[in-house]
Amino acid sequence: MLKTRGYAAEAATTPLAPFDFDRREPGAHDVLIEILYCGVCHSDIHQARNEWENSIYPMVPGHEIVGRVARVGAEVTRFKEGDLAGVGCFVESCRTCENCKEGEEQHCLTHLVATYNGTERDEQTPTYGGYSNQIVVDENYTLKIPSNLPPENVAPLLCAGITTYSPLRRFNVGAGQRVGVVGLGGLGHMGVKLAASMGAEVTVFSTSQSKEEDARRLGAHHFVVTKDPQNLEPLAGKFHFILDTVSATHDLNMYLNLLRRDGTMVLVGAPEKPSEVPAFSLITNNRKLAGSMIGGIRETQEMLDYCAERNVSSDVEVIPIQQINEAYERTIKGDVRYRFVIDMKSL
């Protein structure tokens, strides 16, 4: 077994603290990755504090992992020692169900092995995430990290990047389309960058006027403050696509009304309370309301390659692991532009 250092939550009410644990020795198809950077996703907070009521303790969070390959198994062909490698939200799946065979492992019908707060395929051994100095992953669930982008800025692409890229690609967002992005946080800022890079005319919807300058710097063409409903009235029926990244409770109908005929709004945020959507919000203009999760390994690699070609990455604030509890509180307050990333050399 490999002695590993990390930071863990021992219970829902305790701060993250140093935690030592064992990783498995790399098998024939595994790579051992020395973790350099790990992004801080808001879902890390939800799970560390058991806000989704499915937490397994002790918990080592982290699923936006970038590191360097330190060792490879005897039958590994895609990586060699010294390569940059990444790990996203899952590290295994059944490989045999319909979804896995079609490259949509994130929707595995049998058992998706989450990078942390999950169990291995034996459904007993807990998984520990990227707030640690090393991780062992099968090469087929490991991603090639582009060398032309700063690795600390790449880390959030493995969750925030693919979460926004996937629906933009699925609904063929591109030039000539008017796209709205609701919320300008960790997900929203990537939605703006990606939609703009695809040639869309991007409008950011935010409750905070103070974010307008940032929105335009990130690529937005327009900015709308939503606290005054009158600001939205001239935009009714104008948008081809709206990406809703907000995880707080809000009125979906306000944004559905902005869709043109056959327009689509996709939810990637996860508010705690269900939203009410009257039938006529969808019947009018043949509107569509959809949800989207992360992507599979194939699409995540496609996203990384796309970002490398267009020089797109996340805006980050790099912190030492010793500041993780403070970073959680700042994330809740929205006091980060736009993603915390942990420098794991500080561990």
pLDDT tens, position by position, 115-127 = 999 999 999 999 9
Q: What is the mean pLDDT of residues 7-12?
A: 98
CB burial string 248-274: b at 16+ within 10 A, e below: eebebeebbbbbbeebbbbbbbeeeee
In the DSSP assignment, the letter for residue 284 is: G
Residue 277 pLDDT = 95
Residue 211 sits in a domain whose CATH number is 3.40.50.720
Amino acid present at 323: Q
The interaxial angle of helices 297-310 and 160-170, nearest 10 deg, is 90
Nearest Cα residue to 147 out of 309, 264, 12, 297: 309
Residue 163 pLDDT = 98
Residue 273 pLDDT = 85
12 and 146 belong to one structural domain? yes
6 and 144 belong to one structural domain? yes
Residue with tokens 């040639």: 199
The DSSP element (H or E) to which 180 belongs, if any, is strand 178-182
7 and 57 belong to one structural domain? yes
Assess if residue 308 is contained within a domain.
no
List, for residues 139-194, the tens digit of each pLDDT value. Answer: 999 999 999 999 999 999 999 999 999 999 999 999 999 999 999 999 999 999 99
Q: Which of 275, 291, 307 is the last residue of a domain?
A: 291
CA 276 – CA 123 distance, rounded (Å):
36
Q: Measured between alpha carbons, how far is residue 337 from residues 143, 165, 187 in Å?
A: 25, 19, 11
Q: Containing domain of residue 15, as a range?
A: 2-159+315-346
Name the percent of the chain in helix, strand, coil, to the closest 5. Answer: 30, 30, 40
List, for residues 38-88, the tens digit of each pLDDT value. Answer: 999 999 999 999 999 999 999 999 999 999 999 999 999 999 999 999 999
In the chain, the number of structural domains is 2
Residue 22 sits in a domain whose CATH number is 3.90.180.10
Assess if residue 41 is contained within a domain.
yes
238 and 284 belong to one structural domain? yes
124 and 213 belong to one structural domain? no
146 and 199 belong to one structural domain? no
List, for residues 198-254, the tens digit of each pLDDT value. Answer: 999 999 999 999 999 999 999 999 999 999 989 999 999 999 999 999 988 999 999
171 and 249 belong to one structural domain? yes
H helices then E strands: how many in the chain? 10, 17
185 and 244 belong to one structural domain? yes
186 and 216 belong to one structural domain? yes
Nearest Cα residue to 263 out of 193, 212, 329, 200: 200
The structure tokens listed for 76 are: 């590994």
Assess if residue 118 is contained within a domain.
yes
Assess if residue 261 is contained within a domain.
yes
Assess if residue 72 is contained within a domain.
yes
Assess if residue 183 is contained within a domain.
yes
For the beta carbon of residue 50, count every other beta carbon within 10 angstroms: 17
Cβ atoms 319, 327 nearer than 8 A: yes
250 and 321 belong to one structural domain? no
The structure tokens listed for 177 are: 């389309």
List, for residues 301-340, the tens digit of each pLDDT value. Answer: 999 999 999 999 999 999 999 999 999 999 999 999 999 9
CA 203 – CA 184 distance, rounded (Å):
11
67 and 150 belong to one structural domain? yes
In the DSSP assignment, the letter for residue 272 is: S
List, for residues 85-120, the tens digit of each pLDDT value. Answer: 999 999 999 999 999 999 999 999 999 999 999 999
Assess if residue 81 is contained within a domain.
yes
Question: Residue 34 — pLDDT band, cuts 50, 70, 90?
Answer: very high
226 and 98 belong to one structural domain? no
Reply yes or no on whether the pLDDT at 271 is more than 90: no
Residue 129 pLDDT = 98
Question: Residue 258 — pLDDT band, cuts 50, 70, 90?
Answer: very high
Residue 201 pLDDT = 98
Full-model pTM: 0.96
